[in-house]
Amino acid sequence: MAPPWYTGGWLGRVSVPVAGGALGLNALEQRHQSWGLSADLALPVTPMQLDAYAEVGVDPRGRHLETYGLYFPRLYQSAGVDLWVELARRQHFPAVWSALAYVEGKGDWTGLVGARKAQGEDTEFMVGAVGRFGRLAC
């Protein structure tokens, strides 16, 4: 018997190249709920400088969701920083703005800084580091 916090289900994704980017269709089924369905599109706005992406759909409980974001590949090329800025909305939840940046460090370390602002709430900031301590043999 599964623990009470465990949720099983299925996830499927189909993605095809489109105009230098990608179009995807997603399906998610959670145990004891129905299917969530979404479509996403990522495209270069200015090739190798600015990418934009969006996802719209419904979650397994039937709530509308949408996400819009920007990625800055030029920043990665010039400074080694991956930066995403995103707006996420889901029905019955506050809208959330976020910015997240990763910087590769020495060895197997990666630095992380970010900010998150939910509608009607204070801004949250985060700073962290991720290290690789080995690999799993498969």
Q: Is residue 116 part of a domain?
A: yes
CA pair distance 88, 69, nearest whole angstrom:
8
CA pair distance 104, 111, nearest whole angstrom:
6
Query: Can you give the residue range of the structural domain that contains 88?
Result: 9-131
Q: Is residue 3 part of a domain?
A: no
Q: Is residue 32 part of a domain?
A: yes
Q: Is residue 137 part of a domain?
A: no
Query: Mind listing the pLDDT tens digit for each residue in 17-65?
Result: 999 999 999 999 987 678 999 999 999 999 899 999 999 999 998 999 9
What letter does residue 80 receive in the DSSP assignment?
Answer: S
Q: Is residue 1 part of a domain?
A: no
Best CA proximity match to 81, nearest among 67, 66, 71: 71
CA pair distance 67, 88, nearest whole angstrom:
4
Q: Is residue 92 part of a domain?
A: yes
Q: Is residue 111 part of a domain?
A: yes
Query: Mind listing the pLDDT tens digit for each residue in 87-115?
Result: 999 999 999 999 999 998 888 899 999 99
**What's the number of domains the chain is made of?**
1
